[in-house]
Structure 1
Amino acid sequence: MLGKMVSVEQALSKLDHGQSFLIGGFLNVGTPEMLVSGILEKELKDLEIIGNDSGFPDRGVGELIANKRVRKVVATHIGTNPETGKQMHSGETEVVLVPQGTLAEQIRAGGAGLGGVLTATGIGTVVEKDKQVIEVDGKKFLLEKPITADVALIKAYKADKYGNLVYRKAARNFNPIMATAGKLVIAEAEEIVEAIDPDEVMTPGVFVDMVVRGEE
């Protein structure tokens, strides 16, 4: 079985310092932890991490922050990782907090090639600062620009050699939309099969560049 299957070492060889990363997961559920650990072991630094949260200090994306490999975090909350808050207040790491639904739609817009999304979330708050306000039918909206990244690291339950993916339950979260918005998309899958039934496919292989075998 070859196709898009590669070793972890081959996948990591495509990553470099200073890159931006979309990383799937919700408090480490659905996070490609083996790939994240590989980034840590490769000693990549000056990274921009975009995801739902900054995880925990000792797991997933949180380890990258705790080991000071990250220059910028874009997330919906950072409360579960005190190290992120500490680095934010010291000015060591830039942290951009985004409403969860807004972040999801920005990534979706990036993957679809849209110019952005309009949302009323944040109007009249600090979120509005330095952003364009557009009025539609008498109602004000913020223009939130699309988000893409150099690399998207995603976690799947099952993959085939063509790069088709299936997610399991809550581990699905941000992974499907992130798979559309990375210039290079690497999927870590718990199970590898020859071919997935087309009716089961959640992310078509056309979005995925590489697949590595992960852990359950």
Structure 2
Amino acid sequence: HEAYMTHTSTSPNYQILASMDVGRRQMELEGFEFVQRQTDLAMALREAVSDHSLLRKYFRFITAGELIPSEYRPSGIEFYYDTEKGWARMEQAWRQDEFVLEPSHLNLYIGLTGIDGDTFKHEYLMDKYGIQINKTTRNTVLFMTNIGTTRSSVAYLIEILVKIAHELEEKAEDMSPLEKRLHTQRVKELTFENPPLPDFSRFHDAFRPNRDSGTRDGDLRRAFFMSYKDENCEYIKLN
């Protein structure tokens, strides 16, 4: 009866509580090792892509110097790994800089492939090779390591990136002159001709904390969730 009630009671779930206790204890004893391994694998992935001549042709991981303005990086560190200069002192950046790049988050720049991020995610990584990622932009995909990441999974990802690079090479060789011009234009669009961000004038006064303020800040969250209420929506007929 007690075993049955453990599964049906509205009281706190004992299995979940026990799992949390075990997980907390495991992190207390082995957490540093887990996080260190997670970071090491992320760095190994950066090194593998940077040092591979074919991968460098189509892919690269975006660096801290590209994402964070120099005035917020007093350490002067622009990258965690570079083929010519090797490893940077990441801990120095974490001690001195106002903003840092999370080492386990790896933004892969794919603009030189001529493939946009969403297509790369679905048609290449997920559909063909079963690699799941969540975040993409127009010309990047985001990989993340965690404490469950293994060396074999990192090796598999590197292997797949190499396969994709070979596919792109073979595809380029078979292109007609017209197809090459179209491909070059597509690469240009993904690397140099990014669409401009829409102009933003100001928040409506209803979403501004201080209407007399000279700034343009406002409550974006409240404005967004108001659209979920039917009384706030107006439907316009197309005809």
Q: TM-score, normalised by structure 2?
A: 0.21
Which structure has the larger Rg over C-alpha atoms? 2
Name the structure, 1 or 2, with higher relative contact order (CA <8 Å, separation 6+): 1
Structure with greater helix percent: 2
